[in-house]
């Protein structure tokens, strides 16, 4: 699972939409970024986004492959429900993210379902236990037509 910092800035924006980023959300976001290979200045930008409010506009998703778009949306679906509630504003931001990514509704639903499948595993609802590799594998299983990045 290799992504740039921009999907994680989009995730932070979802977390901030209700006015504050919960500690569990910050932990989950940073862990996901590290598992996606972010380090140095990119990881520092994500850490900063856990402390200072960011908006969806700060995420540059141009040039992402369809695989990266689907993975980003799946991570966002998981992230939006981390605090136990998906608010109306978070839902609206998820819709906006899906549009910004250019994902069709069917792909959004399948990506969100895959994220939920992994969250439902034993202790999968906890950010320190969420299995990002299993999410990637589940997405590949559910959407074999997507070309997966090898980088």
Residue given tokens 């966002």 in the structure block: 76
Q: Is residue 151 part of a domain?
A: no
> If you average pLDDT over each of 10-19, 61-70, 97-106, 123-132, which comes out highest?
97-106
Judge if pTM exceeds 0.75. Answer: yes
Mean pLDDT estimate for the chain: 85
Residue 94 lies in a domain: yes
What percent of the chain is predicted at pLDDT more than 70?
91
Answer whether residue 133 is part of any domain: yes
- Comparing C-alpha atoms, which of 59, 51, 63 is closest to residue 23? 51
Count structural domains, the chain: 1
- Per-residue pLDDT averaged across 16-41, rounded? 88
CB-CB contact of 21 with 15 (8 Å): yes
- Identify which has the larger pLDDT, 138 or 84: 138
Per the domain annotation, does 46 fall within a domain?
yes
pLDDT of residue 151: 40
In a domain, 14, yes or no: yes
Please report the pLDDT score of residue 124 as a whole number.
63
* pLDDT greater at residue 139 or residue 149: 139
Is residue 148 in a domain?
no
Average of per-residue pLDDT across 125-150: 77
> In the chain, pLDDT over 90 holds for what percent of residues?
28
pLDDT per residue as tens digits for the range 32-86: 899 889 999 999 999 999 999 998 887 888 888 888 899 889 988 888 887 777 8
Which structure tokens are listed for 142? Answer: 């559910």
Q: Are 91 and 76 in contact (CB under 8 A)?
A: no
If one counts every other C-beta atom within 10 angstroms of the C-beta of residue 61, the result is 18
Q: 150 lies in a domain?
A: no
Question: How far apart (Å, rounded) are the C-alpha atoms in residues 52 and 88?
Answer: 22
Residue 107 domain boundaries: 5-57+65-142
| The token pair that represents 135 in the structure block | 């999410």
In a domain, 92, yes or no: yes
């Amino acid at each position: 699972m290799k992504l740039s910092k921009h999907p994680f800035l989009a995730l932070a924006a979802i977390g901030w939409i209700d006015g504050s980023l919960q500690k569990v959300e910050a932990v989950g976001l940073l862990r996901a970024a590290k598992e996606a290979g972010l380090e140095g200045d990119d990881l520092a930008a994500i850490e900063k986004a856990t402390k200072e409010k960011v908006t969806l506009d700060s995420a540059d998703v141009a040039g992402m492959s369809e695989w990266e778009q689907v993975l980003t949306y799946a991570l966002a679906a998981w992230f939006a429900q981390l605090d136990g509630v998906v608010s109306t504003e978070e839902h609206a931001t998820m819709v906006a993210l899906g549009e910004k990514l250019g994902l069709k509704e069917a792909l959004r639903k399948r990506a969100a379902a895959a994220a939920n499948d992994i969250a439902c595993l034993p202790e999968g609802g906890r950010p320190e236990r969420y299995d990002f590799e299993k999410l990637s594998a589940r997405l590949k299983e559910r959407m074999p037509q997507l070309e997966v990045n090898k980088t």
